Structure 1
Amino acid sequence: MNDVLFRTTGHAAHITLNRPKALNALTHEMVLRIDHALTEWEHDPAVETVVLTGAGERGLCAGGDIRAIHDDARHGDGTAAAAFWRDEYRLNARIARYPKPYVAVMDGIVMGGGVGVSAHGSVRIVTERSRVAMPETGIGFVPDVGGTFLLALAPGELGTFLALTGAPIGAADALLCGLADHFLPSAAAPSFVADLAGLPVRDALARHVQEPPPGQLAAGRTWIDDCFAAGTVEEIAKRLLAQDAPAADETGVTLLAKSPTALKVTLASLRRARRLGALERVLDQEYRVSRACLRSPDLVEGIRARVIDKDRRPHWSPPALADVTEADVERFFAPLGEHELGLAAPADTTGEVVW
């Protein structure tokens, strides 16, 4: 069975992630095949729109194939994971700059690498089934695939909240955070996709887009912005646990269950992403951080606890926030020399899709 399917209907070219039993998790081969298809369609005048969907009933994509990353980190030399990330991040940047409308139907679960192949698109659709998240700190990893770029742009400190806690959000909150553009009911998604064969994107949207059900984040903006504006993870946790809001206290408990190292590196990554600006610069930073994570015991342990053994009882090393020093964090951002991703070189580029 092909892990990713391609077809063209009318003026629309379709990418379908096709690993439903693995919740369409991305493999290196899938990334390469998608990139090849985008090259062909970019130069095909018959293709006016590219559409991304996921096979099965559960969601678009749960992320990258973290079992393969676990095995490479534990038993290999890290080159396979690094090669996967190199091509994946380049694909993320390509999607963001794609010259034709790139429509991502973010129905169901969309996490990690799934965000990377969807939320950088020019038209991002969510439904009442959407659950969007960057849950990396729970496996001893750090948000990547341009996730720190996207979350750094979210209003107030919502992006910091999502990056550190890995909390999944629904349609209205994805729209609020800038991770999606339009809502339509899940039942209308097939008709919307079919309409793209013959209609311009704006006309197809006009037929189906609706107002989403209410979200949850807006009601918590006061405590989220106050707590997550703190300069350290320790202070964020302290402020959360001191709040008079049950949701804040629960968030503090959730936060302290994550990898201490991943939390501190994630906060540093997000704050640096705000200063870096361009997506390509942020992806270059994420590549340094991801490669450094391969040398961190928490990545292997986090994947073991959540995916391999599924005991959900990771033993983080070091086990406490206080034990993670500034020098420990800084090592994750060390230059890679000839192994840099190099997307931002020789100069940053910007682009805007207009249709």
Structure 2
Amino acid sequence: MSGHEDAVLATVEGRMGRITLNRPRALNALTHEMVRRIAAALDDWEHDPAVESVVITGAGERGLCAGGDIRGIYEDARGGGGDASAAFWRDEYRLNARIARYPKPYVALMDGIVMGGGVGVSAHGSVRIVTERSRVAMPETGIGFVPDVGGTYLLALAPGQLGTHLALTGATVGAADALLCGLADHFVPADRLPELLKALATRAVADVLPSFVCEAPPGELGAHQEWIDHCYAADTVEAIVNRLLENGAPGAKAAAESILAKSPTALKVTLAALRAARGLGPLEAVLEQEYRVSYAALSAPDLVEGIRAQVIDKDRTPQWTPTTLTEVTDDDVARFFAPLGDRELTLATGDSPQEVPW
């Protein structure tokens, strides 16, 4: 097998189809070929009566998946015209929608780091399990990008303005806060995951889960929801930042400082995308919008600059264009939502996401 194929291990273990993301040195970051391999495994198992559930895990000790392979996106956007990245996103977003409507239980073990594209291959599943080691985030604004892989759909469904807070700051949350925000369903201690996998190989998911699920250690967001809901309800990013700075809560000031370090364009597009997502309906419609936004980002300066600063040169000092929120016009934002004509991503809306009894 080639190295690309080894990056996703698809095995049948008893009654369970198991997908293992197998690039531990890259924190299991997703490549286009990995997306294709996951989709192929789902195809193989959908009509196989011997496979009763699908489980996705990450190799190594650090996490399920740190996101898409943004180094590849950087090289493509700089020198390849962005075609390879656009093709990657088309297949990735199709996979995200497929996972949400998969007819068999799709169990995601969201242990360790689960960010960006890692959220896309886990948080649309029907059974999403976090542990005390889980670190879940959509940190795209920090690289001049916008939450994708259905992230704006998921965050728009979070209670109050919690999703807006996570989208703009890119903040990382632990197990309890992931549960609170609707990004996960159950808490299982990390040391019980091997035992859980063994049980899923022999018994139905609904029969297995009750003996493993525990109460998560306390989170943080619930205690802050009052100021989060007030501050992030403002109409613009500038007004949100002003409310945060005026609020007085230590967390509010830290959130404002975090936001002000992010790409001004990405922040404004993110807020617009998140609020539009609430009225778009099914996941597929939101993914279609996200594709327009992602496609536009390929030809905007901040994505390449953000990846350069965070991943390539690692100087952590991106030079955003424009440099301030007030310089980003409504027309600048609207450009990200412009129809793409024959380049549009068009996803058929299938059956409703599976209703699960646990």
- Please classify the TM superposition score into its range, dividing by the shorter chain length: over 0.9
1:198 maps to what in 2?
202
Residues 261 and 318, structure 1, Cα contact 8 Å, conserved in 2 = yes
Runs of 4+ that moved beyond 3 A: none
Q: What secondary structure does 1:121 align onto?
A: coil
**For the Cα contact (< 8 Å) 1:131–1:170, is it kept in 2?**
yes
User: CA offset at residue 136 of structure 1?
Assistant: 0.1
Residue in 2 that maps onto 1:173: 177
Q: Does 1:315 align with 2:319?
A: yes
- Please list the CA deviations of residues 16-36 of structure 1 after superposition, one character each: whole Å capped at 9, or x if unmatched: 000000000000000001101
- Supply the AA of the counterpart residue of 2:157: L
Determine the C-alpha separation between the residues in 2 that align with 1:205 and 1:86. 34
Matched, 1:99 2:103: yes
Match of 2:231 in 1: 227
Measured in 2, the distance between the counterparts of 1:316 and 1:348 equals 40
Report the counterpart of residue 74 of structure 2 in structure 1: 70
Map of 1:352 onto structure 2: 354
Q: How much is the aligned-residue C-alpha RMSD, in angstroms?
A: 0.9
Residue 150 of structure 1 is matched in structure 2 by 154
Q: Give the unaligned 5+ runs of structure 1.
A: none
Residues 101 and 350 in structure 2, CA contact (< 8 A), matched pair in contact too: no
1:179-218 alignment runs, 5 A limit: 179-218=183-222
In structure 1, give the amino acid aligned to 2:114.
Answer: V
CA contact (8 A) 2:245 2:253 kept: yes
The corresponding residue for 1:301 is 305
Q: Deviations over 1:243-265 (max 9, x none)?
A: 11111001101110000000000
User: Match of 2:29?
Assistant: 25
The question of 1:4 aligning with 2:4 is answered no
Q: What is the CA–CA distance in structure 1 between the aligned matches of 2:66 and 2:331, rounded to whole Å?
A: 32
Residue in 2 aligned with 1:281?
285
1:141 match: 145
Match of 2:136 in 1: 132
Residues in 1 aligned to 2:21 and 2:44: alpha-carbon distance in whole angstroms: 18
Distance (whole Å) between structure 2 residues aligned to residue 146 and residue 184 of structure 1: 25
- Partner of 2:71: helix, strand, or coil? helix
Residues 139 and 167, structure 2, Cα contact 8 Å, conserved in 1? yes
Q: Give the letter for the 2:92 counterpart.
A: E
C-alpha distance in structure 2 between counterparts of 1:133 and 1:142, whole Å: 12
Q: Which sections of structure 2, spanning at least 5 residues, go unmatched?
A: none
CA distance, structure 2, for counterparts of residue 303 and residue 57 of structure 1: 25
**2-structure distance, mates of 1:22, 1:348:** 34
The alignment's TM-score, normalised by the length of structure 2, stands at: 0.97
Aligned residue pair count = 353
Identity level (%): 70
Residue of structure 1 in register with 2:119 after alignment: 115
1:90 aligns with 2:126: no
Pair 1:348–1:282, CA change in 2 (3 A): farther
Deviation for aligned residue 1:349: 4.9
Cα deviation for residue 194 of structure 1 reads 1.1
**Matched residue SS, 1:206:** helix
Could you tell me which of 48, 51, 55 is aligned with 1:51? 55
Letter in 1 for 2:134: S
Q: Distance in 2 between matches of 1:225 and 1:323?
A: 26
Matched AA of 1:172: A
In structure 2, C-alpha distance between the alignment counterparts of 1:332 and 1:77, rounded to whole Å: 17
Report the Cα offset of residue 353 of structure 1: 3.9
Query: For 1:206 and 1:229, how far apart are their aligned partners in 2?
Result: 38
**Secondary structure of 1:53's aligned partner:** strand
